[in-house]
Amino acid sequence: MSLLLGSTSDFFGLDIGTTAVRLVQLQGPSNAKALLKYAYVPVDPATALSDAKSDQQKLAQMIAQLVSQARVTTKNVAVGIPSSRVFTTVADVDRLPPNELAKAIPLQADALIPTPLSESTIDWALLGDSPADKSKQEILLTSVTNKFVEDRLDMLESIGLNVMAFEPDNLAMARALTTPDTPGAQLLLDVGHRSTDLVIVLNGAPHLTRSIPTGIESFLKAASQTLNIDNKQAEQFVFKFGLSREKLEGQIFQAISGTVDLLVTEVEKSIKFFQTRYTNIKVEKAVVTGGAAVVPEFPLYIANKFGINVEIGNAWRNVTFSQDRQNEMLAISNQFSVAAGLAERNS
Ligand SMILES: Nc1ncnc2c1ncn2[C@@H]1O[C@H](COP(=O)(O)OP(=O)(O)O)[C@@H](O)[C@H]1O
Ligand SMILES: [Mg+2]
């Protein structure tokens, strides 16, 4: 194995999403990772979201087949955890040396997380000085139930995979869509099937994350109910005409804008919440990914609502691949930020 030429990373990123399972494997030094493998397979949301043993086994078999067909060269994997299963908060902690901090945080976390500490897996990232208390520093604290982690571990070990890390989907997504030197505050929105992941990144690090229970499925339901069409037809219309007020005489816009506004209202609340802690910091830009990145005029709608610039996220912004794959990679970019972000981890 040659370090100078850039070795194959000894793990891959795995996003077990609601409508698809996706994987990415990269190779090369951490600042210039090249694409080695990517693959995905559609899954039935009913299977993906079920905790039933039989559904989990079905999902495991699909993952096993995907990994094998993609010829991934390692069994080591970094796995995403759906943000709806993760509790996240920002907390102020004393300025302590790392080893003491590692002892102090669990004690403090006990009062902050919604589940008993003994039944939870916690993790944290040091963010820097607290804006609220000059004598303290702030951390981004996450927790997930041991039960969820253990079930996922069992499922992945049953197909011979070796889990090296679990990470909340939203943090992986933020890694893929930004760089550590991204200046200012940016709003990231990953609009998934059932829910939307929101992250506000400040100076390159996530400072607020939230899962909002509105996603593409709600848009499609609104369209099919209002226009009295089936789900397939609703999907075609929503992804073809989106939030255009002109196309199809604005019928799709009228049918779904109320639901989109539910999402917008929650986003607005999060921006306000962010600004009560980080006063005088303006959210300058939004980045949209997931299903809504391909809903026509959704980004424009967000831009107009908040009066900010909106970009379509590029899942591959930190990944290199040959020029002739540009179109192929861009076509799937909106679905791959979580898997790419997991693959970009340093371990
Ligand atoms: N190119 C596309 N065309 C149509 N729908 C898409 C496209 N890309 C993504 N989507 C939709 O975006 C959503 C992405 O969901 P997914 O990542 O599987 O779920 P989650 O992140 O909620 O687990 C799904 O509703 C999917 O149907
Ligand atoms: Mg997703």
pLDDT digits (tens, 9 = 90+) for 120-154: 999 999 999 999 999 999 999 999 999 999 999 99
Tell me which ligand sits closest to the C-alpha of residue 42: 1
Q: Is 242 in the pocket of ligand 1 (CB under 6 A)?
A: no
Pick from 170, 175, 178: which is nearest to 195 by CA?
Answer: 170
pLDDT digits (tens, 9 = 90+) for 284-307: 999 999 999 999 999 999 999 999
- Pocket test residue of 18, 41, 85, 197 for ligand 1, highest count of atoms within 8 A of CB: 18
Give the contacts of 123 (CB within 8 A, at least 6 positions apart): 141, 142, 143
* pLDDT computed for residue 8 by the predictor: 56
pLDDT at 1 over 70: no
Pick from 162, 114, 165: which is nearest to 142 by CA?
Answer: 114
CATH architecture of 179-314: 2-Layer Sandwich (3.30)
> Average of pLDDT values for 202-218?
96
> Average of pLDDT values for 240-268?
97
Q: Which has the higher per-residue pLDDT, 6 or 48?
A: 48
Q: Report the greatest alpha carbon distance in the chain.
A: 63
Alpha-carbon distance of 140 to 149, in angstroms, equals 19
Q: Whose CA is nearest to atom 20 of ligand 1?
A: 192
Q: What percent of the chain has pLDDT over 70?
A: 97
Question: Across all residues in the chain, what is the average pLDDT?
Answer: 94
Alpha-carbon distance of 115 to 12, in angstroms, equals 30
* From-to residues of CATH 3.30.1490.300 in the chain: 87-145
* pLDDT computed for residue 3 by the predictor: 40
* From-to residues of CATH 3.30.420.40 in the chain: 179-314
- Pocket test residue of 240, 335, 342 for ligand 1, highest count of atoms within 8 A of CB: 335
Question: What pLDDT band is residue 7 in, cutting at 50, 70 and 90?
Answer: low
Reading the block at residue 50, the tokens are 């079920």
Tell me which ligand sits closest to the C-alpha of residue 20: 1
Reading the block at residue 36, the tokens are 């080695």
Alpha-carbon distance of 195 to 215, in angstroms, equals 4
Question: What pLDDT band is residue 6 in, cutting at 50, 70 and 90?
Answer: very low
Q: Is 193 in the pocket of ligand 1 (CB under 6 A)?
A: yes
pTM of structure? 0.95
pLDDT at 177 over 50: yes
Q: Whose CA is nearest to atom 11 of ligand 1?
A: 291
State the distance from the centre of ligand 2 to the C-alpha of 303, rounded, in angstroms: 22
pLDDT at 108 over 80: yes
Q: Is 294 in the pocket of ligand 1 (CB under 6 A)?
A: yes
* pLDDT computed for residue 35 by the predictor: 97
Q: Is 173 in the pocket of ligand 1 (CB under 6 A)?
A: no
Alpha-carbon distance of 54 to 152, in angstroms, equals 14
Residue 220 carries which side chain, given as an amino acid letter? Answer: L
Tell me which ligand sits closest to the C-alpha of residue 21: 1
pLDDT digits (tens, 9 = 90+) for 28-78: 887 779 999 999 999 999 999 998 999 999 999 999 999 999 999 999 999
Q: Which helix (H) or strand (E) segment is 206 a member of?
A: strand 205-212
Q: Which residues pair with 323 in a beta bridge?
A: none
CATH code reported for the domain at 87-145: 3.30.1490.300
Question: What pLDDT band is residue 106 in, cutting at 50, 70 and 90?
Answer: very high
